[in-house]
């Protein structure tokens, strides 16, 4: 079991860049439990629905490190080599196959794989008399499309809706994608209806860190580690939010141990973090020469450079929704220094992700250089921003 450590100070523009990048790359998949509670309860029996993707393994490792017994329930098709020492129950929620769960008793259930309301309703209904805590991993996408409104949302903000007839037609994860946020909100409601007062509906933002194959964050540490001049997007002080997968997993464990119920936004940070802060952390994680060149939002728009996927993390200022997270912080959510997230993500990318191309995120190298040349030419000609 890993020793408990005093939680790091919360990231600020000054402090997070001074964290010990030079101390050497830590093992990226080892959990570091937060000191959100000074007293840990007795060992729990925890059921994880899923548990073999990105978030699930981090939670399982955190739970095992803290002395809990973990059982997995899934189809047995993804990362089957993981956790050979654990009990693994087989079933398929899309097929209505929950037989392996019948008659089982657990202290807590962690639902990392619920996308369809009917699946969550069936699972929570089956388990409601056999568990004390049901934790559903939702998303801040329940609030509707981001990048379209410059406001602040909290847990009381209205969630997206979808018509009953469309919900009734959805029976697979693939079918749920067009209504992702609204269906997640319906899943939350289904869990609460089945187990009133026993449910924690946790709404993460962008989840990043070692093991993240979505590349929506990983692209930046990898790109900056290649060195040279880097095209950086828009307002360099524009606020960005994400959560390290290990911080999320460790706080999920705290909620399970303490039977925390309610709705919680779970994304960074305690204090404002801007795009330059994050990219400077990436720069500090490499030893190669790097120049960060921020270009204006107007320039990016004129040259049809897309936000979020072509320029990961970036949302233009006119649609930059901020997600309030104080409720989760009050319940013990903690954030490691962003420099640690960058360092460990880069280490993972180099040692495990390998040279796999970034097919969905980022901008092609040739296109990046063309845009940088155009930006500098614009400056020489006095074109301004």
**Residues near 114 by beta carbon (within 8 Å), at least 6 away in sequence:** 49, 93, 120, 123, 136, 137, 187, 191
CA–CA distance, 186 with 180 (Å, rounded to integer): 10
DSSP annotation of 312 reads E
Helix/strand/coil percent split, the chain, to 5: 35, 15, 45
Our measurement of the distance from residue 55's CA atom to the centroid of its chain's CA atoms, rounded to an integer in Å, reads: 8
Q: What is the CATH number of domain 16-379?
A: 3.40.50.720
**CB-side neighbour CA atoms (13 Å) of 207:** 25
CA–CA distance, 375 with 379 (Å, rounded to integer): 6
Q: Can you give the pTM of this predicted structure?
A: 0.88
Tell me the two tokens of residue 79. 């990362």
Report pLDDT for 39.
60
CB 251 within 8 A of CB 333: yes
Work out whether strand 87-90 and strand 307-308 pair parallel, antiparallel, or are unpaired: unpaired
Q: Which residues of the chain, if any, have pLDDT below 50?
A: 1-38
Report pLDDT for 382.
67
DSSP annotation of 15 reads T
Report pLDDT for 364.
96
Tens digit of pLDDT for each residue in 235-245? 888 999 999 99
Instruction: Name the residue ranges covered by the structural domains of the chain.
Output: 16-379
Report pLDDT for 68.
98
CA–CA distance, 261 with 255 (Å, rounded to integer): 8
């Amino acid at each position: 079991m890993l020793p408990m450590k005093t939680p790091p100070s919360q990231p600020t523009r000054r402090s997070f860049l001074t964290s010990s990048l030079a101390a050497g790359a830590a093992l990226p998949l080892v959990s570091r439990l937060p000191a959100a509670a000074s007293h840990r309860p007795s060992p729990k029996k925890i059921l994880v629905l899923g548990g073999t993707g990105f978030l699930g393994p981090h939670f399982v490792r955190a739970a095992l490190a803290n002395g809990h017994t973990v059982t997995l329930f899934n189809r047995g098709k993804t990362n089957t080599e993981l956790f050979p020492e654990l009990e693994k129950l087989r079933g398929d929620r899309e097929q209505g196959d929950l037989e392996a769960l019948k008659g089982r008793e657990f202290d807590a259930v962690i639902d990392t794989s619920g996308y369809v309301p009917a699946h969550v309703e069936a699972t929570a209904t089956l388990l409601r008399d056999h568990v004390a805590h049901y934790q559903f991993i939702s998303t801040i996408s329940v609030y509707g499309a981001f990048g379209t409104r410059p406001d602040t949302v909290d847990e009381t903000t209205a969630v997206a809706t979808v018509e009953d007839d469309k919900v009734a037609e959805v029976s697979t994860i693939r079918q749920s994608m067009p209504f992702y946020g609204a269906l997640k909100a319906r899943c939350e409601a289904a869990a609460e209806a089945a187990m009133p007062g026993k449910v924690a509906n946790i709404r993460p933002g962008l989840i990043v860190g070692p093991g993240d194959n979505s590349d929506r964050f990983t692209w930046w540490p990898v790109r900056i580690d290649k060195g040279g001049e880097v095209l950086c997007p828009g307002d360099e002080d524009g606020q960005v939010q994400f959560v390290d997968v290990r911080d999320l997993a460790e706080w999920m464990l705290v909620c399970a141990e303490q039977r925390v119920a309610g709705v919680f936004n779970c994304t960074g940070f305690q204090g404002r973090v801007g795009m330059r802060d994050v990219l400077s952390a990436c720069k500090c994680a490499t030893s190669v020469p790097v120049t960060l060149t921020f270009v204006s939002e107007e320039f990016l728009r004129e040259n049809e450079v897309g936000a979020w996927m072509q320029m990961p993390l970036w949302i233009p200022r006119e649609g930059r929704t901020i997600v309030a997270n104080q409720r989760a912080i009050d319940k013990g959510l903690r954030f490691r220094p962003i420099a640690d997230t960058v360092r460990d993500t880069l280490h993972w990318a180099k040692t495990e992700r390998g040279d796999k191309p970034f097919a969905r995120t980022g901008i092609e190298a040739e296109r990046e250089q063309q845009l940088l040349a155009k930006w500098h030419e614009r400056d020489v000609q006095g074109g301004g921003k």
